[in-house]
Every structure is written in C-alpha cells, then in structure tokens.
Chain A
Amino acid sequence: MVTTDTAKYMETITVNWVLACRVNDIPQNGGACVKLGDEQIAVFNFSRRGEWFATQNLCPHKQQMVLSRGMIGSTGDNCEPKVACPFHKNTFSLLSGQCLTNEELSIKTYAVRVEDGKVFIAL
C-alpha cells in the first residue's frame, strides 16, 4: 500500500529540477518564455499572489508559441489562476492546465521552485 507520504517521497526523487532563468527575467504579474533543451516553457510570476507557475508555451488551439505573452488572472470563487492566450483569448488553468473556455483543450503544467533569485522548473 502506498501512503500519501510515500507518494510525496516518490515524487521528489523522480523530479528533475532544471534552472530556467533568474527571477528578474520574468515581469511581475506576467510571463516570459524560457528554452529548456528543445522545449519552450512559459514561466509566470504571479507576484500579486506570491506564486509561480509554468506551462507549455504552445497554445493548442492554433498551435502558436505565445502563451507566455498572455495576461494572467484568476476566475471563480476559488480564484483559480489562469492565463489567456493573446491570440483568441482561450484561458487555461495554471494549476491543472485544463482549458476553461474549450473543454477539449489542455496544456502541460510544470512545478516551479524559486531559490536565491533563481527559477527552477521540474521536468
């Protein structure tokens, strides 16, 4: 039987934290794109909430590398954090990656850790 604790432990050992950029590289309450290997990842500094998020940069709607340039915000009573694609304003949850405006779409999300002014992403 796997307890919650063991699950957490298993996650930490499989995660590969990669240095993505410096904290100052990402605008406050906004996003920017980093290149990790061949992947483009959108990193968001939600400074109003003191939280960081990362997702794929590709908007699955029209296959455009633009999500990092989208506006972030929140929706609903639980203040679900979200990003809006600048192309057609589809919005995606920054937590689950689920598209909130078109249920057929979703994006990958990544865990983010900030240490000593550096931003790490779990690949």
Chain B
Amino acid sequence: MIKSTIIVIGNGMVGYKFCEKLVTKSAGFNIIVFGEEPRQAYDRVHLSEYFNGKSADDLSMSSREWYDEHDITLHLGDPVQEINRTNKTVHSFKGLTIKYDYLVMATGSSAFVPDIPGIEKDGVFVYRTIEDLELIKAYATTAKTGAVMGGGLLGLEAAKALMDLGIEDTHVIEFAPRLMPRQIDSAGSAMLQSKLKELGLSVHLNKSTSYIGGTHKADALHFNDESTLPIDMLVISAGIRPRDELAKLAGLQVGTRGGIMVNDKMQTSDETIFAIGECALYEGMIYGLVAPGYEMAEIVVSQLTGGSKLFYSYDMSTKLKLIGVDVASFGDAFITEPDCRTIVFEDTHKGIYKRINITTDGKYLLGGILIGDADAYNMLLQTVNNKLVLPPNPEDLILGSRGGAESEGAGVMNLPDDALICSCEAVDKAMICSSVTDLGITSVDGMKKCTKAGTGCGGCIPLVKDLIAGTMKANGQYVKNVLCEHFDYSRQELFDLVKINELKNYDLVLDHFGKGDGCEICKPAVASILSSLWNDVIVKQDTIQDSNDRFLANIQKGGTYSVVPRIPGGEITPDKLIVLGQVAKQYGLYTKITGGQRIDLFGAHLNDLPAIWEELIDAGFESGHAYGKALRTVKSCVGSTWCRFGLHDSVSFAIEIEDRYKGIRAPHKLKGGVSGCIRECAEAKSKDFGIIATEKGWNLYVCGNGGSKPQHAELFAADIDKETLVKYLDRFLMFYIKTAEPLSRTATWLNKMDGGLSYLKNVVINDSLGICDHLEEEMQLLINTYHCEWKEVVENPELRKRFTHFVNAPEEKDPTIKFEPMREQIKAQW
C-alpha cells in the first residue's frame, strides 16, 4: 500500500502533538515536518522557567531520536515559503519541493508588535521564543529598569522573567483599565495589582504609549497623558498575531483580523489543508491556549483516520501562578446579575479575592475568578463542567466548609466517570481510576507515563493525586512505608510504639518490634525517635548513630571532622570571634563562614575534637548540632536595632527561637529564619519555619527548604504575636517530629500530607485532633532536658577516650590524613 503523505508546517507544541497523536493512532502515513525555528518543539507554556535555570533541553518536548523512531522526516530551520495547491506541493526556504496528500498548518502565532514610533530601537524585545529569551537575557545584564508592554497573562509572565533576571525595577504597562482583561474582573485585577506591588512590580493601567524615546537605545516610554517612564529595556507582550501569511499567499480564506479560517473539522477553505493551534480561526475566535490547540490536533487525527470528531467551542478556563500569586478564571467568569447570582469573598489583608457566579435558582455553578488562593480551582471547574448540583450553602465552595470534617480528597471521587481531568491530554476520571485499579499505577509519575495526564500544563496534578489516593482507598489498598527489612512499621507507628512501651534503647526496640540485627537505615531512625522522645541517648548509644552523631562532628573528605559551634541568630561578640580564630590556628583548621551564619572549622583530627571543644566551651560556646538531624540555625537579618527598614527586633527573636529548640532531634535537619521586614534578608521563606515581621506582629511560614528541590515556605498564620507564634511553632515542630518519615524534610512531609496545608493548619491552629496540649507538653519536655552533648563529653574522661583513631595507640593520629596548602589555608588531600 502506498502511504499518504502528510506535511506538517510548524514544529511548535501543537504541531508536535499532532505528530504524536497521529503515530499512536496509525502507521499508515508518511509524515514530513517543516519547522522555522532551529530546535525541536519545546514547551512554550513554561518558557519563563528558562530563566529559572531550565535549559532548552529541559523544555524540549521530545528528542531527535523520537522522530527517527517514528519515521518522521524533520526539517528544522527550514520554513515553508510557498504552497502550490494545484500541484499539491510545498516549497521550502532551503529549496525542497515536496508533494503532499494532506497539509496541516500549525504555524502558530507571532508576538503582536504595535506600530509605535521608536519600536525599532535597541533594547526593545518580544517574548515568544527561546531565541527572544536569549536576547533578553544578554541585554538584561546591563539594565536596571525594565518595562513590559501588555498586562495580560503573557505580559505578566514576561515581567516575572525580567524580575528573575535581576532587573531591580520592573514595570507593567497596560492599555486597558485592568490587568488580564480577558480573564479577570476589575475587583480581581485590583487585588492582583496590590499583591504584585508588594512583590516589587509596578503596574500602570490606562496607559497608552505614544512613542519610545532614546537615540539608538530605548531609554524612556512617553505616554499619551504626557507622562514618561525612564527605562533601560522594553518587552512587548501586547497580544498575539496568527501566522497566516503563508495561507494568505496560497489563497486560503483568512479572517479580517488574521487567522486561517477553519470549520469544525479543522479544514480550511481547501479541504486537503487543515489548520490547528493559534493560527486557526474558528467561529471568529483564536484560541491562544495550548489545551484547545491539542484538541484541534486530536480532531484532525480523527478526521484523517476515519473518525468523526468535531471541534466545539473550547473551555478557556485557566489557572496559573503569576509571580507567586495564584490567579484562576473558569467557566463564565464575567456573567453578572440579574443573569446569575454572584458571591464574592474578599480579604484585602491576605490579598485574596474569590468570585463565583451561580444560577439564579442556586443550583449550578456557572464560573468564577480566584486571586491569591486558587486551591479550589480544579474542583470548581469540575463542578461547572459536569453540572454538579451545588450544596445548600454554595459560599462554602470558596470559604471552605467550616466545622465539617470532610477531607479535601473526598470530593473528587464524586465526579462522574467522564469528568475531564487533564484537558491538555483529554484524560477523564475513568481512565485514571482504571489505571489505578487495573494496572496498579499508584504514583503521579506512573500515571504520567501511562495516561499522559498531567504532562501538559501540569495544572491537574493535584486532582490526579487525589484521584489516585481516592481510588486506592476505595479499593481497600493501603500503602505502608516500612522502615527497612528489620522493622515492619512506619516511623510514625514505631514512634508511638516506642513511646507507649517506654523503650529506651535500640536493642529493646529491635527485640520488641523488629527482627535480625538492624542496619544503617533503622539504627539512626530509631536513634532519632529515641532522642525525640527521651532526649538523652545521643552520647549513651553512640554506635546506633550515623558517624556524625557518633563523633558529634561532621565527617569530611579524608576522614577528618569539622566543628561548628552554635552562634544563635548569627550574633557573635568580638571576643568569641577571637577565640574561634585562636582555636583554628592552634589546631591547624580551615575556617569558612557557613550559609547559616556560623563559622565552620574544618580538618580536625578525631583525636583533637575533645580538646578543641574544651576550649570552645570554656569560651562560652555550645554544640551547634551541625552533625545531627536536629535544629541547625535560625538565621536572622539585623532587624530594627540597626536597620532603618526593620519593623521588629528579628535578631533577638531568632536567638530566642534558636535557644528554645537547640539540640532537638527530628526526622531530618531543621532550619529557621527571622526577618525584620518584608524585604526578607534572612531568607526565612526558604526554611522549615520562617518568621517575618509585619506592621501588626509576625507572619509565620512553614515547610520551606533550599537544597536540591527548593520550595518556598507557605504562609501559616499572619500578624500573630510572639507568644502565639511560639505556641504554633511548638505544636508544628512536634507534630512533624512525631509523624514524618525518616530523613524527610518538612516540605516533603507537607507535600505528602493528606489535605496539605489546610489540614496542618487545622491540626496546629484549630486543634482538630485534640492533641495540641500533648504536643506542647512533649516539646516542653525536650526543651527542659536540653544539654550540650559536647560539654558532657569534655567533662567525662570515659567518653573522651572514644575520640581516638587507633584504640591500641590512642596518642597517634591517622597517618594517612594529608593536607595541602590553598589560599593561605589548608585543604584535604585525597
């Protein structure tokens, strides 16, 4: 059989998706793709992540090999220049002439550049391709002030990108009286604007630019109202323009304002030529989102393979995080009374605005807008799309059910089977649930591989997670995280068992609840449990500790150790600094300032540790627990005592907090931070708990971390006083210590928690489990039993003896350790 030839013009997201869908459906086509850009289709939706360290490869949707494997001929950097409809051929820039049976135009769109005088000047960019981003990135190194023309979705993305590039002063200019005019209403825009202002983005509305000033380089925007804004660079994001020039040239019908006209089969005025994605005009509308583009690709595949799927107007609901602010718009967001009833919830303090539109009889949800908190988006969208009957108090949808104990995951299981969960990949609830039940898929990653759900914009992932968990629960499956081969219990179970049975050493725990002789996984895990419960075992049971805890120092290259004394809040006297210098000199140690505002002394021989610590303790230092899964530091900015911006005394508070929790053992290390104002110099939001001063008190953030998977801490309680904050922190930390899996930081712990942050708030703030008194008591016990482990060792000759390299030659140090000089200090040789 001779295969029909399909030529795809354009290798963007939609063009690629078309190829992917077609090859899975049928092998009966000879596919040839022409792309203008030099690289294969990449994820344009997440383009701004290019500035967050994602590479072009990370954004790429497939590999060259993928095209080879599927026998797709790919011509990159070679745009089609002419279509000859009579001979049914295309002619490319590089001179290829190829005959087609069907043509699919996925030429996408280009940035719309308004005709403003000065637009050609240096320093004016569009925001569309990776090449554009590279140009912006290069230019931004010399720019201090940047502006984005256009306050729509893409414009705000571009503004975020400028901020990520370190532009100190970023502005957004919008012609309309509100931001994101296609998605949100004026009240929502006002809320978003004030939120963005807080984050350092200036927004100018109702501004029409008359010309761009500057001789060669753009240096100012001049507006119709006579005002000006000095700038170093400008990014245009004033909308998109469908790429229809090729179609026009070929005599295909195009819209008066651009776009290749298509019918509900995606056919253009020539029935062998299809158009999909942002270049296609369907019923007077250009669909500038990826999900409808994918749907169009699906329609063409269906048409070509004997199906009969047709395109209907598409749901344009969106949810995104703009510069850290949730924004969502769904269903009919703009319908107003008397055609509906509108319920609005506004919290100007937290920057939350929610609006839902319901039918006048109160039965159905029509649409709405969410700013600042869009957790409910997925469920609300499902409620609209599946015409679910509303509860008697529809305001609960945006306020959360108050007093009810219903868990957040419960709602998703009530959705009908055909509820569309992933609109990018057209995956419905039944497909996800049956993958769990029939194929045993139990992770989001597995689900992505199996159904592709969540691989597009990623917005449905929380819903997919809930469905997986809900289905597993419904099937009576229970996934148990056992500690290791020696214990058939999770850490949390073992924690309770050890506590109830008052077991105080590892061997007893193993005898009672384990089997075998233990290992390097369960020993430190049980050691952590014992420490968190009884707080006296680190030194007593040294051989169940990781090497660091066993020798109360951090093992480093070459087998030497580093010494980190506690410097609470990062505050240190000159005298103590001198002592650190003297000790380092005396024992030949390398010194470095740590990320947690302390001083690390490297290169100590095991034998020298007790003597080093004796001198440090004499000078008033204590163990810094840098070696333990314990509280490390509470970082602070200098706060109101010196800083002209500081609202409260962040240093004193940091010291108080660090002293309170020092020495406490946890499933993983714990870090804190206290900032004296919104500028957040202590980087508190990257810590397990962060405290930031506000005009009215303190904001508490929880569950952030740096490391390999950075995550910002989330706002837990706002404008609370010190006492309340410490109370919440006691409960929060103890709840974490009791329930987290071994070696899981607070962020991971929260990410895995059923019900997430709102559940955690309920437990800690509202005492929904009735355990807060207990948590506080348990924490108080740990605080009361604090002791410096190093002091204990230094004062006890028996314990000091452990710190030898050769037990049969205690005076001798490890002769294999060698150092070499580097920048007037030493480094380990190995």
- Residues on A close to B: CB < 8 A? 20-21, 25-35, 40, 43, 46, 48-49, 62-66, 69-76, 79, 81-82, 84, 86-87, 89, 91
* Contact between chains at A25 and B807 (CB < 8 Å): yes
Contacts A20-B808, A69-B547, A74-B519 aside, 4 further interface pairs with beta carbons under 8 A come to A33-B807, A34-B808, A43-B807, A91-B519
Given known A-B contacts A62-B830, A71-B523, A27 and B517 have beta carbons under 8 A apart: no
A44 to B816, CA, bound (A): 21
B 559-574 contacts with A by CB, 8 A: 559
Q: Which residue of B is nearest A76, CB measured?
A: B485
A21 to B520, CA, bound (A): 25
Residue numbers in B under 8 Å from A79 (CB-CB):
516-517
Determine how close the nearest CB of chain B comes to the CB of A11; give it in whole angstroms.
Answer: 25
* Contact between chains at A73 and B519 (CB < 8 Å): yes
Of A25, A27, A84, the contact of B520 (CB 8 Å cutoff) = A84
Given known A-B contacts A75-B519, A86-B547, A66 and B555 have beta carbons under 8 A apart: yes
* Contact between chains at A81 and B546 (CB < 8 Å): no
23 A-B contacts (beta carbon < 8 Å): A25-B808, A26-B807, A30-B543, A34-B806, A40-B806, A40-B814, A64-B558, A64-B559, A65-B559, A65-B816, A66-B555, A69-B555, A71-B524, A71-B543, A72-B543, A74-B516, A75-B519, A76-B485, A84-B519, A86-B546, A86-B547, A86-B555, A89-B520
Residue numbers in A under 8 Å from B518 (CB-CB):
48, 73-74
Interface status of B551 (Cβ within 8 A of chain A): yes
Interface status of B687 (Cβ within 8 A of chain A): no
Given known A-B contacts A64-B558, A70-B547, A35 and B519 have beta carbons under 8 A apart: no
Given known A-B contacts A20-B808, A62-B830, A65-B559, A28 and B543 have beta carbons under 8 A apart: yes
Given known A-B contacts A66-B555, A70-B520, A79-B517, A35 and B808 have beta carbons under 8 A apart: yes
A28 to B541, CA, bound (A): 9
Of B507, B546, B557, the contact of A71 (CB 8 Å cutoff) = B546
Given known A-B contacts A27-B542, A64-B830, A86-B547, A49 and B808 have beta carbons under 8 A apart: no
* Contact between chains at A21 and B807 (CB < 8 Å): yes
Determine how close the nearest CB of chain A comes to the CB of B487; give it in whole angstroms.
Answer: 12
* Contact between chains at A49 and B830 (CB < 8 Å): no
Determine how close the nearest CB of chain B comes to the CB of A103; give it in whole angstroms.
Answer: 19
Residue numbers in B under 8 Å from A31 (CB-CB):
543
- Residues on B close to A: CB < 8 A? 485-486, 507, 516-520, 522-524, 542-548, 550-551, 555, 557-559, 802, 804-809, 812, 814, 816-817, 830
Determine how close the nearest CB of chain B comes to the CB of A118; give it in whole angstroms.
Answer: 11
Q: Which residue of A is nearest B807, CB measured?
A: A25
Residue numbers in A under 8 Å from B545 (CB-CB):
71
* Contact between chains at B517 and A46 (CB < 8 Å): yes
Of B543, B546, B558, B808, the contact of A27 (CB 8 Å cutoff) = B543
Of A21, A48, A76, A86, the contact of B808 (CB 8 Å cutoff) = A21
Q: Which residue of B is nearest A26, CB measured?
A: B807
Determine how close the nearest CB of chain A comes to the CB of B483; give it in whole angstroms.
Answer: 12
A66 to B520, CA, bound (A): 15
* Contact between chains at A33 and B806 (CB < 8 Å): yes
A84 to B558, CA, bound (A): 17
What 5 A-B pairs have minimum CB-CB distances, sorted nearest first?
A30-B543, A86-B547, A73-B519, A84-B520, A74-B517
Max chain B C-beta neighbours (<10 A), residue from A30, A66, A73: A73
A52 to B790, CA, bound (A): 30
Residue numbers in B under 8 Å from A66 (CB-CB):
547, 555, 559
Residue numbers in A under 8 Å from B804 (CB-CB):
32
* Contact between chains at B519 and A71 (CB < 8 Å): yes
* Contact between chains at A71 and B520 (CB < 8 Å): yes
Residue numbers in B under 8 Å from A28 (CB-CB):
543
Residue numbers in B under 8 Å from A20 (CB-CB):
808
Residue numbers in A under 8 Å from B806 (CB-CB):
33-35, 40
Residue numbers in A under 8 Å from B817 (CB-CB):
65
Residue numbers in B under 8 Å from A32 (CB-CB):
804, 807
Of A30, A35, A76, A91, the contact of B542 (CB 8 Å cutoff) = A30
* Contact between chains at B809 and A81 (CB < 8 Å): no
A79 to B510, CA, bound (A): 14
* Contact between chains at A69 and B550 (CB < 8 Å): yes
Of B507, B520, B812, B816, the contact of A73 (CB 8 Å cutoff) = B520
Max chain A C-beta neighbours (<10 A), residue from B544, B550, B805: B805
Q: Which residue of A is nearest B524, CB measured?
A: A71
Q: Which residue of B is nearest A29, CB measured?
A: B543
A74 to B523, CA, bound (A): 11
A28 to B548, CA, bound (A): 18
A70 to B559, CA, bound (A): 12
Of A71, A76, A82, the contact of B544 (CB 8 Å cutoff) = A71
A83 to B806, CA, bound (A): 18
Q: Which residue of B is nearest A32, CB measured?
A: B807
* Contact between chains at A35 and B809 (CB < 8 Å): yes
Q: Which residue of B is nearest A36, CB measured?
A: B808
Residue numbers in B under 8 Å from A65 (CB-CB):
559, 814, 816-817
Residue numbers in A under 8 Å from B519 (CB-CB):
71, 73-75, 82, 84, 91
Determine how close the nearest CB of chain A comes to the CB of B519; give it in whole angstroms.
Answer: 3
Of B517, B546, B557, B812, the contact of A35 (CB 8 Å cutoff) = B812
A30 to B551, CA, bound (A): 13
Determine how close the nearest CB of chain A comes to the CB of B828; give it in whole angstroms.
Answer: 10
A46 to B545, CA, bound (A): 15
Max chain A C-beta neighbours (<10 A), residue from B486, B523, B805, B808: B808
A73 to B516, CA, bound (A): 8
Q: Which residue of A is nearest B802, CB measured?
A: A27
* Contact between chains at A87 and B555 (CB < 8 Å): yes
A34 to B547, CA, bound (A): 18
A27 to B816, CA, bound (A): 23
A65 to B545, CA, bound (A): 18
Determine how close the nearest CB of chain B comes to the CB of A99; give it in whole angstroms.
Answer: 14
Q: Which residue of A is nearest B558, CB measured?
A: A64
Q: Which residue of B is nearest A35, CB measured?
A: B806
Residue numbers in B under 8 Å from A62 (CB-CB):
830
A29 to B555, CA, bound (A): 20
Max chain A C-beta neighbours (<10 A), residue from B522, B544, B551, B806: B806
Residue numbers in B under 8 Å from A35 (CB-CB):
806, 808-809, 812
Residue numbers in B under 8 Å from A43 (CB-CB):
807
* Contact between chains at B830 and A91 (CB < 8 Å): no
A31 to B349, CA, bound (A): 59
Q: Which residue of A is nearest B545, CB measured?
A: A71
Determine how close the nearest CB of chain A comes to the CB of B505; give it in whole angstroms.
Answer: 11
Determine how close the nearest CB of chain A comes to the CB of B570; give it in whole angstroms.
Answer: 29
Determine how close the nearest CB of chain B comes to the CB of A86; give it in whole angstroms.
Answer: 3
